[in-house]
């Protein structure tokens, strides 16, 4: 497995803000977000993204965190459940839905049917859904889970949690929305109703944004 340099240290963190939505049900998630915010990298939502189609408000409607500095999502290479090699950089030019999960995580299981519905809804658009399993047992436990739920989006195996650590994941599920240029636009801590009108509106708005020129990959891949 190969992975890029980790996110910047907390000293380079810029302020973060979480949007509203389902506040009463997710006070625990909000508290967790505040607790781990110093551990997360600094991101920014580009001005044109914040203005075009009310994207910032759409992130808030999903209760997602956005940040004030732009940091590219760390590049990585992981095996897929079907034995292929997946490279994040191959998805440049697409909106990427990057989800961290595990078979033993009940909220992960609950949100995955909605994730599949969202993936189906945007199957003909430049949108890619990728879910990274944290299960140390790998394919032995992941494959039956995927077959039971009839999941068809890309499943990756991060058995040593190296990529999970690069992304400073502290809660499962966690979802990172990555822009066409490879920069993270927002993070959802905990499950969401990904097939809701709000979720579809957010993805649609991100797809309608003008594609930014990809930056020269500062996070080159290196052997783990």
As for how many domains the chain has, the answer is 1
- Whole-model pTM: value is 0.76
Which is more confidently placed, 72 or 203?
A: 203
- Strand, coil or helix: 95: strand
Helix, strand, coil shares of the chain, percent, nearest 5, are 35, 25, 40
Q: pLDDT per residue over 125-159, tens digit each?
A: 999 999 999 999 999 999 999 999 999 999 999 99
Task: Supply the CATH number for residue 163's domain.
Answer: 3.40.30.10
Percent of the chain scoring above 90 in pLDDT: 64
Q: What is the mean pLDDT of residues 42-50?
A: 41
For residue 157, the enclosing domain spans: 2-213
In whole angstroms, give the CA distance from residue 91 to residue 181.
9
pLDDT at 43 exceeding the cut of 50: no
pLDDT at 173 exceeding the cut of 70: yes
pLDDT at 35 exceeding the cut of 50: no
Other Cβ atoms within 10 Å of 155 Cβ, number = 24
CB 206 within 8 A of CB 141: no
Q: Is 41 inside a domain boundary?
A: yes
pLDDT at 22: 43
- What pLDDT band is residue 213 in, cutting at 50, 70 and 90? low
Q: Is 218 inside a domain boundary?
A: no
pLDDT at 25: 41
- What pLDDT band is residue 197 in, cutting at 50, 70 and 90? very high
Q: Is 70 inside a domain boundary?
A: yes
In whole angstroms, give the CA distance from residue 157 to residue 76.
12
Which is more confidently placed, 70 or 76?
A: 76
pLDDT at 212: 61
Q: Name the residue among 78, 71, 85 with its Cα closest to residue 3.
A: 78
């Amino acid at each position: 497995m190969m992975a890029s340099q980790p996110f910047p240290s907390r000293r380079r963190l810029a302020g973060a803000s979480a949007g509203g939505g389902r506040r009463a049900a997710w006070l625990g998630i909000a508290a967790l977000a505040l607790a781990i915010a110093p551990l997360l990298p600094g991101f920014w939502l580009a001005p044109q993204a914040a203005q075009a189609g009310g994207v910032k408000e759409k992130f808030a409607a999903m209760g997602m965190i956005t940040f004030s500095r732009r940091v590219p999502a760390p590049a990585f290479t992981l095996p897929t459940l079907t034995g292929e090699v997946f490279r994040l950089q191959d998805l440049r030019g697409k909106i990427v839905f990057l989800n961290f999960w595990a078979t033993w995580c009940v909220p992960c299981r609950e949100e995955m049917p909605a994730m599949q519905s969202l993936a189906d809804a945007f199957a003909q658009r430049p949108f890619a859904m990728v879910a990274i399993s944290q299960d140390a047992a790998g394919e032995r436990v992941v494959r039956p889970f995927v077959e039971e739920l009839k999941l068809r989006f890309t499943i990756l195996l991060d058995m040593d949690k190296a990529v999970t650590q690069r992304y400073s994941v502290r809660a499962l599920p966690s979802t990172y929305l990555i822009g066409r240029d490879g920069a993270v636009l927002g993070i959802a801590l905990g499950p969401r109703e990904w097939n809701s009108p709000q979720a579809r509106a957010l993805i649609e708005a991100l797809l309608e944004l003008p594609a930014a020129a990809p930056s020269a990959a500062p996070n080159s891949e290196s052997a783990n």
